[in-house]
Amino acid sequence: MSIDEVLGSARTPMGADLAAGLDTLSYDQKITFVPYARVVLPYDGYVFWVRTSLLSRGALLNAMQLNEVQLNELGDGEVSLESFEVPGSLHYSSESVQEEATNQTRNRVVFSSQLPVVDLNEINNGILYIATFDGPELGDIQGLAGTTQIKFAFSTRGSYYKQTNLWHYVGHAVYPTMASQIVDDPLFFQALEPIVSNSLPIWLSLNQFRPDWPVPVPLPRITFYPSFLVPDNLEPPYISVHIDYEDTESHQEMPVLGADSSSSQLMQDNVRLVLYGCNNKVAQDIYYALLQHSLDTQLWGVCNMPAIQDEKEGQSEFNTLAQKKRIVFEASYSQEAVRDLARQLITSCIPTVIVGDEILQTP
């Protein structure tokens, strides 16, 4: 039995009529969705979406969390991911945007589908399905000339009415400034260096910091994530690390230049840690462990008197508050020390990429 027959037998009369109208409007159009895996650079938390067909099985599993799985470790969570086609009707509009540092065209996509494409409420989704649209087509007839290929994903699902059996998705095509984060060529990772220029690698290294301290200072197993890059719908506890571009400054007028043209400066960051799902004791344990980390590693120094602060974040539907706390550190550090730390993480966290029968270890 075909998909159309299955859908037709399961639809309400209204849903069947709407599906027939959608088929007529779209001229039986089908959009192909290709799976991309979320790959997080272990040294600065930057997120890339890599076509799953380029990744080894172990690398696909490693992509699901930040520094939580050993290199090429396999497990029960391993799944086989393939591209799939979805019948539906696609519309998109284009807008030219002029900003200080970029002029770009943004394409807004609306896709009405007879099948569910993506669950935006899925917990900790490490897979993203990205579609490619080559321009208007009518069956096998060539569409308009001069159309540009766009890649897109969805950020919104419109109001869903079960009896209609139609799904409406809205999203934007990949912005030109984001094109470097969508990877279709594994060679891209071979020359990849740490991206951030602040102290973020220091804070992310705490995910692997498990010293045998002679003093009773526990470090809870709570993962640190870069701000704006926390996995989708992640449930607490976790910690977000935010360093705004205005919060990084130099305490050294000129950088020290090495023989190989490397440079280093004494810097200071205003680092905001946001804790979700932590009670007072856990927050204090994290706070004291951070101070001990500064003392033990000498990677960074504390320039202020941090305090654990409670924030109010509510949801009116449930009349309750999230367990949200904040700790702000003014941290001093040497750029060279941060780069050395990132290099150590690169050495211990090397992803494996398969190109045909050839195995590449990158970077």
Is residue 280 scored above 70 in pLDDT? yes
The residue behind tokens 């301290």 is: 213
- Higher pLDDT, residue 223 or 60: 223
For residues 100 and 118, the answer to whether their CB atoms sit within 8 Å is: no
Q: Give me 115's structure tokens.
A: 């099948």
pLDDT tens readout for residues 143-163: 445 556 788 888 777 665 565
**Measured in whole angstroms, how far is the alpha carbon of residue 242 from the centre of its chain?**
15
- Cβ atoms of 155 and 170 within 8 Å: the answer is yes
Q: Which residues lie across from 267 on neighbouring strands? A: 250, 333
Spacing of C-alpha 32 from chain mean position: 22
How far is residue 313's CA from residue 326's CA, in Å, rounded to a whole number?
12
Nearest-angstrom CA–CA distance, 270 and 252? 17
CA dihedral 89, 94, 99, 104 (to 10 degrees): 90
65-119 pLDDT, tens per residue? Answer: 444 444 444 444 444 467 888 877 777 788 888 888 888 888 888 888 777 777 6
Identify which has the larger pLDDT, 41 or 242: 242
Cβ-in-10-Å burial (0-12, 13-18, 19+) of 59 comes to buried
In the three-class reduction of DSSP (H, G, I as helix; E, B as strand; rest coil), residue 12 is classed as coil
pLDDT confidence of residue 73: 44
> Which domains occur in the chain, in start order?
3-184 (no CATH), 200-347 (3.30.70)
CB-CB contact of 108 with 115 (8 Å): no
Q: Which amino acid is at 141?
A: I
Read off the pTM. 0.73
Is the preceding omega at residue 194 within 30 degrees of 0, hence cis?
A: no
CA–CA separation, 126 and 64 (whole Å): 5
Give 31-56 pLDDT, tens digit per residue: 888 888 887 777 777 888 888 877 76
